A and B are shown apart, each in its own frame.
Chain A
């Protein structure tokens, strides 16, 4: 089999690092969602099992099939969305929304309309909503200064230091330093952490309008603009002219299955993709797909021992998770804020989207991400009148 012939230590290492980074940073957001949903450790284990398995299966299948390093993961902005919606939203409703989102993404994938839809969304509005969802996590880092100043300051310094010295491993090293600081400064105990096999738990889905509008629709939007769009861009900038259709379709099919066990939408990775598609994974671009496969295999291992990962996170103080999640997202927040703030056209509509989303208000039972898009779209039409411009341009062309 050619996979073993193509395998190399750098490619396998890249896959391992990508998984480690995902578990170090973005997983912390998922834990915050679990905390706000007030679910049991067993249920949390099932969630982690489901997202790991979704990423593993879709990543291995796509990498082997397309022979390119396709790194998949769970929708990080989607998990951020959850934090504000729980506990108002029930688990059953959340799963129903995951299924709706998977179905919508599947249709988008199979019809090949991904690129067309991406073009329809004003880029500033999309980035502003992303930034608004992720923003609270960044602010959370500094809010933690009030309750755990030493831990927060130590982790902030460690983050800055590692970011400067070894950007690639900064999140992993930050996790290590953070755990040490939490044990030394806050007296956290790791005694309860042991190797345990995960047992998935089935959740019966329930469909509701509320969950569809507050979770499913924003989830589709952030998954398309926050994961698929940058993920595909990273693949293309590394020289892989992979079509979006198989990737979108396969990940949505996996999402459909994992949803029943609490797994949020599986998507192409944005934060960790570059680790496996870059030259560091392998000199020969045709052999980097091994990194994608390895990434999947390590997710499989991680999913199998999801219980251990959950035990590690639950034995550490909540503030630790908050600071870790916030620092892991600083890069994403900065790139999204600058993406909309740096462009003068439709700036006001973007800022309105950002403010409304970041406010965290809920109204008629619907979350702020939904209202952010509504307000942004309304302001976009009113203040920047694209309709009038379009018709004026059409007239000019006719003349």
Chain B
């Protein structure tokens, strides 16, 4: 356990939570929570596309919220850092696609092994090597590329829902300028809800339901491990943790517990395997929302991440209800809120990506992540890192910390 970073601890967490709670981190946590709830739509559409029964897809999302939410209570509280937990979206797409091929129990067996790999990597302290091979500008290039989609999704509603979209976006900027006391996101939320109420959104299709996660026994096959378990492990270790750690550091935190995040995520993924769920890990877009400037002062942003966990756990059993509610809301609503919450995060991510070394690799990582291209069934964000780092090694090897030039420069610096 010596490689797992030490945190503040859990004993005083509930008291500190109430002490540090404020309008900024509450609104950021709320927005991140709503965002996470709406992410269930990705699971549902991936499941539908893969021809999985709706019954299973609903269970899958309920487990996602419940289990990821539970782990998401502890990680930010222990480290007092904005580290919300969720599941891997590229992993979810892989999982949905592999179930019809290898079977559900077998896919979950591969999930269990992937989790074990991540746990070992975290416990052994190998995240340092991973982060060493994939330098910060390349990680942030990928993150910026993934998040850019949320930015463009924010402006797209201007095309066909011009009035509400313009009103919501403008309310954010005007309150950022003139209402210093109220978080601009809260203003936008209120304006958006008010508009929906006035325009008479149709909520008649909303229905109530209650379900808990269900236990299932994983099975093991080599085929499932190679086709899905190994890529998932690579995604968890090589992409999800670096993205989260990169974001948190990019937002001005000096340290981020890379090994702790990976180990807990690995353990969480192992637990997930018994409940129809494919992974537990740090969630990049939500980390962006919770750790960004909209969440208030640095030392209190962790509260936002805990709020995400609370929202997840509470909402999980009622997801059928939540889902029908999200369905009833106009689609631009969440797109605009998420885009605005991430705007300054996208700005900082781009700033870090393009203000120094590894320029070519970072640019390629950025472009690949935006393109959303799938190669061998694995999503763009993974290839953004692999190809970005590979191209950077090819064209700008001197920028790597372990290159001879970098070492010489460091030695010269120390000598001076």
Contact = CB atoms under 8 A, between A and B. Distances in A.
Interface of A: 135, 138-143, 145-146, 149, 160, 163-164, 330, 333-334, 337-338, 341-342, 344, 347-348, 351-352, 355-356, 358-363, 371, 375, 378-379, 382-383, 385
Contact of B371 (A143, A341, A356): A143
A11 to B, nearest CB: 31
A359 B155 contact: yes
B411 interface: no
A142 B391 contact: no
Contact of B152 (A149, A359, A382): A359
A139 B162 CA distance: 27
A379 B367 contact: no
A341 B354 contact: yes
A363 B395 contact: no
A144 to B, nearest CB: 9
Contacts of A362: 159
Nearest to A339: B354
B363 A139 contact: no
A344 B351 contact: yes
B99 interface: no
Contact of A149 (B372, B375, B394): B375
B156 interface: yes
Interface in B123-177: 148, 151-152, 154-156, 158-159, 162, 173-174, 176-177
B355 A348 contact: no
8 contacts: A138-B367, A142-B373, A145-B373, A163-B395, A355-B151, A356-B155, A358-B152, A371-B158
A341 B151 contact: no
Interface stretch (B44-52, B242-250, B342-350): B342-350
B347 A348 contact: yes
Contact of B156 (A341, A352, A361): A361
Nearest to A348: B347
A344 B154 CA distance: 23
Contacts of B370: 135, 139
A334 B158 contact: no
Interface of B: 148, 151-152, 154-156, 158-159, 162, 173-174, 176-177, 343-344, 346-347, 350-351, 353-355, 359-360, 363, 366-368, 370-375, 380, 391, 394-395
B363 A160 contact: no
A379 B173 contact: yes
Given A341-B351, A355-B152, A142 B380 contact: yes
A375 B373 CA distance: 29
B151 A338 contact: no
Given A342-B351, A371-B155, 4 more contacts: A140-B371, A143-B372, A160-B394, A361-B158
Q: DSSP majority for the B interface? A: helix
A341 B173 contact: no
Contacts of B155: 355-356, 359, 361, 371, 375
Contacts of B363: 138, 330, 333-334, 337
A356 to B, nearest CB: 5
A358 B363 CA distance: 15
A21 B208 CA distance: 64
Nearest to A163: B395
A42 B343 CA distance: 46
B308 to A, nearest CB: 24
Contact of A355 (B346, B359, B394): B346
B54 to A, nearest CB: 29
Nearest to B374: A146
A13 B341 CA distance: 53
Contacts of A338: 354-355, 359
Most buried by A among B351, B360, B374, B375: B351
Which 9 residue pairs of A and B lie closest in terms of their CB atoms, listed nearest first?
A142-B371, A359-B152, A338-B354, A355-B151, A341-B354, A341-B350, A342-B355, A351-B347, A334-B363
Contacts of B367: 138-139, 141-142, 333
A160 B360 CA distance: 10
Given A139-B367, A330-B363, A358-B148, A145 B375 contact: yes
A328 to B, nearest CB: 14
Contacts of A135: 370
Contacts of B148: 355, 358
A166 to B, nearest CB: 14
Contacts of B162: 363
A379 B347 CA distance: 13
Contact of B373 (A146, A344, A352, A355): A146
A356 B366 CA distance: 17
Contacts of B368: 142
A358 B366 CA distance: 13
B355 A341 contact: yes
Nearest to B375: A145
Nearest to B351: A341
Contact of B351 (A139, A333, A347, A359): A347
A363 B163 CA distance: 12
Contact of A351 (B158, B346, B373): B346
B176 A361 contact: no
A355 B156 CA distance: 10
Given A160-B391, A363-B162, A334 B359 contact: yes
A140 B372 CA distance: 11
B3 to A, nearest CB: 34
Given A338-B355, A341-B354, A359 B177 contact: no
Contacts of A382: 173-174, 176-177
A145 to B, nearest CB: 5
A146 B372 CA distance: 10
B94 to A, nearest CB: 17
Contacts of B353: 341
A389 to B, nearest CB: 13
Contacts of A359: 151-152, 155-156
Contacts of B151: 351, 355, 359
A266 to B, nearest CB: 29
Contacts of A139: 367, 370-371
A363 B350 contact: no
A158 to B, nearest CB: 12
Contacts of A334: 354, 359-360, 363
Given A330-B363, A341-B355, A383 B173 contact: yes
A356 B159 CA distance: 12
A214 to B, nearest CB: 14
Contacts of A355: 148, 151-152, 154-155, 346
Nearest to A136: B370
Contacts of A361: 152, 155-156, 158-159
Contacts of B176: 382-383
Contacts of A348: 343-344, 347
A160 B374 CA distance: 21
B375 to A, nearest CB: 6
A33 to B, nearest CB: 21
Contacts of A378: 173
B362 to A, nearest CB: 9
